[in-house]
Amino acid sequence: MTQPATSLALPADWRDFFALTKPRVMTLVIFTGLCGLLAAPGSIHPVIGFTAILCIALGAGGAAALNQWWEADLDAGMKRTANRPLPAGRLKGTDARDFGILLSAVSVGVMGVAVNWLSAIILAGSIVYYAVIYTIWLKPRTPQNIVIGGGAGAFPPMIGWVAVTGDVTLMPVLLFSIIFMWTPPHFWALALFVKTDYANVGIPMMPVVKGEKSTRRQIFVYSAILLPLALTPWFIGGTGLIYAIAALALSLAFFALSLPVSFRQSGQNDSMRPEKRLFAFSIIYLFALFAALVVDRVAANQGWI
Amino acid sequence: MNPDEDTEFRKRQKSRNWVVGGILLFFVVLFYAITIVRIGD
């Protein structure tokens, strides 16, 4: 508690609880989950579809709150995160923890009752994966933390898909794999230009532990794998030409932007422009790729192609 | 607690109550809709 003992603590602002859910990350989670749901074969009642997306969002919010509760001390030491509700002292740690548990439990329960239990189990798995396996266990221990953490972000389209179909097939696994492979170059591009922050709080980020050169080489490898992987849904006949063209163009652009990042070394007071450009494009990439997936499905359903 | 703090305290309490009330109302409507859809299955 940051207030003097003599004064009654102000009730936390509801906006701080909202901020705990990492709303900006959640937009990507909602979007990819919705795309998985819309691209899946079959139909779902709009109310149940809405509930599925709501549960994915609540689950992601709960996991984010638990993540911030656990990492409050680390966040306090980094410029980018020091003003979050917990390190800034606007919220109590136990409140954040309880809020995270509540959101997680409600999301899984409602998903199971209203949608189906397979998607609820995968949602529960994704929350435990992010909040426990990633945040508590592996993030502070291995520089491969981002590779492992990428799995958590890769669940939403799979859950959206399974909400419609009720079973796990190759397509949702591919959607999972695409985000899984996209995450390391996306996040390491960021880590390259904020690496001093991570070094200060002792998180073993790849650029800090293995050095820039190794990180850049790995960005290259993941970007190179992403190119054919993004096209695989088309290779296996799961999507049409619209997706194939979009995936090829976007992945080529992603790969092209990763090249200058992969084969250079930063100097003193480097502006890190290639890294910032790759990071910015990586967000557009994921939005556009999943949007193409939905457009492709709609076009196929309407008989346009 | 001085008057300014008291005002801020009440303001926060009130805004939180509104948000919690809104969320509860939303879930009432949502569960009603889910029930109707599920009955129709």
pLDDT tens, A210-246? 888 999 999 999 999 999 999 999 999 999 999 999 9
Domain that holds residue B33: 17-41
Q: Do B38 and A11 touch (CB under 8 A)?
A: no
Residues A205 and A268 in one domain: yes
B25 Cα to chain A: minimum distance (Å): 15
Residues A89 and A204 in one domain: no
What is chain A's mean pLDDT, rounded?
A: 92
Q: Do A48 and B13 touch (CB under 8 A)?
A: no
**Biggest CA pair distance of chain A:** 70
pLDDT of residue A270: 83
Please, what sign has the CA dihedral across residues A192, A227, A303, A34? negative
Residue at B3 is within a domain: no
Helices (H), A85-210: 93-110, 117-128, 145-165, 170-193, 195-201, 206-209
Q: Do B15 and A13 touch (CB under 8 A)?
A: yes
Domain that holds residue A149: 11-168
B16 Cα to chain A: minimum distance (Å): 6
pLDDT at A205 exceeding the cut of 80: yes
**Matching residue, tokens 């790849």:** A206
Residue at B25 is within a domain: yes
pLDDT of residue A55: 98
pLDDT of residue A8: 61
Per-residue tokens: A63: 């996991």
Q: Do B30 and A51 touch (CB under 8 A)?
A: yes
A7 Cα to chain B: minimum distance (Å): 6
* Residue-wise pLDDT tens digits, A63-86: 999 999 999 999 998 888 899 999
Residues A197 and A108 in one domain: no
Nearest to A111 by CA among A166, A51, A167, A164: A51
Lowest mean pLDDT among A53-57, A120-124, B5-9, B35-39: B5-9
Residue A115 phi, psi (nearest 5): -110, -90
Q: Do B34 and A114 touch (CB under 8 A)?
A: yes
Percent of residues, chain A, with pLDDT higher than 70: 97
Kindly list the residues from chain B whose CB atom is less than 8 angstroms away from the CB atom of residue A11.
Answer: 9, 12-13, 16
Domain count, chain A: 2
Question: Half-sphere exposure (CA, 13 Å, Cβ side) for B15?
Answer: 13
- Quote ipTM for the complex: 0.90
What's the whole-number mean pLDDT along residues B27-32? 97
> Considering the entire predicted model, what is its pTM?
0.89
Please give the Cα distance from A3 to A130 (Å, whole number).
Answer: 32
